[in-house]
Amino acid sequence: MADKKEAKDAKGAKDGKDAAAEPAASSKKKGLIFGAGGVVAALALAFAASLMAVPKKEHVHHLEGPFVAKLSKDQIQANLARAGGKRYVAMLLQAEYYAYSEAYVQGRLGGGGGGGGHGGGAGAEDPLYLAMLKDALLTVAGTKTAEEITDTAMVDVFLEEVREAVDPVLFPVYIGDATTPYQPDKQSGLKVGEDHMRSTMRGLLHEHAIKLDGPGKTIALDGGSAVPFTERDRNLKLINPAGEYVYVDCTLVNPKFSGSVPVGVPGRVRRIFKDSLLVQ
């Protein structure tokens, strides 16, 4: 009987030790799980913090190209020099150009391919653009004889003069996010002035800026001297330190806006090609 009691007591003691060990093991296991979860959470937070610490890369505008497009949908005729109005040239020309968007020229011609960019969204050929293009081509062609246009040794001189005359017509000065030269910038309300085609500052749009202080009613070009303006200024001349100038219209300026607004041309004509050049 004593032997049985001792065996029973020994078994009870063993069972007690096992029962006491189970909660300890469970607690240790839970601690490991929570510890691992904490590490994962800490790593996730660290990763998120690293993403927030990386500055957002600013979009850099740059010219694309070269691209080629027709300057007009139809032929343009111009009288030639020293022919008494009896001889003329009928021309359909193409331009090789660089621009912030390939669709720019199509937008100017009414192709509507420009989307939200400069020159885009037009449903029809801009009549003012077409009028200025014809005027530029008639002016250049009117100084040339038939020989100067048909002679292969001299035609390149004619085409280069056309390029110089057409460049400011195809790529006039824009201000801000305007989709045509005559629209105001959405944020500032600033737009080009009535004599904008006489502007001598023809730097690229995203490389030059107008500093506008709406509350203080002052405005400056490229770090030049600030000049006062009013809401009645439709053709205010701004001069930069290099002596170049642009004309701006301040009639729609947002009086609360204060900051920099891009100003300049959205592309450049590099070369003119003959699509058809017929002298009569």
pTM summary value: 0.74
pLDDT in tens, 186-238: 999 999 999 999 999 999 999 999 999 999 999 999 999 999 999 999 999 99
Residue-wise pLDDT tens digits, 257-277? 999 999 999 999 999 999 999
pLDDT in tens, 41-83: 555 565 555 555 555 556 678 899 999 999 998 999 999 998 7
Provide Rg for the chain, Cα atoms.
36
- What is the predicted pLDDT for the residue at 34? 45
Query: Burial, 264: exposed, middle or buried (Cβ in 10 Å; 0-12, 13-18, 19+)?
Result: buried
Q: Does residue 168 come out as left (phi exceeding 0), alpha (psi in the -120 to 50 range) or beta?
A: alpha
The amino acid occupying position 266 is: P
pLDDT class of 2 with cuts at 50, 70, 90: very low
- For the stretch 152-193, pLDDT in tens is 999 999 999 999 999 999 999 999 999 888 899 999 999 999
- Predicted pLDDT of residue 33: 46
pLDDT above 50: residue 122 = no
Instruction: Give the tens place of pLDDT for each residue, 127-148.
Output: 889 999 999 999 999 999 999 9
DSSP the chain: -HHHHHHHHHHHHHHHHHHHHHHHHHHHHHHHHHHHHHHHHHHHHHHHHHHHHSPPPPP----EEEEEEES-SS-EEEEPTTSTT--EEEEEEEEEEEES-TTHHHHHTT--TTTTSTT---SS--HHHHHHHHHHHHHHHTT--HHHHH-TTTHHHHHHHHHHHHHHHHS--EETT-SSTTSPPTTT--EE-TTGGG-----BGGG-EEEEETTTTEEEETT---EE--TT-SSEEEE-TTS-EEEEE-TT--TT-EEEEEEEBSEEEEEEEEEEEEE-
Structure tokens at 168: 């400011």
Report pLDDT for 62: 86
- For the packed helices 155-170 and 127-141, what is the interaxial angle rounded to 10 degrees? 150
Domains defined along the chain, listed by start: 60-171+266-280 (3.30.479.30), 174-264 (no CATH)
Q: What is the pLDDT of residues 78-120, one digit of tens each?
A: 999 987 778 999 999 999 999 998 888 888 877 654 444 554 4
Task: Give the integer Cα–Cα distance in Å for 127 and 125.
Answer: 6
Nearest Cα neighbor of 100 from 264, 271, 210, 272 is 264
Asked whether the beta carbons of 75 and 91 are under 8 A apart, the reply is yes
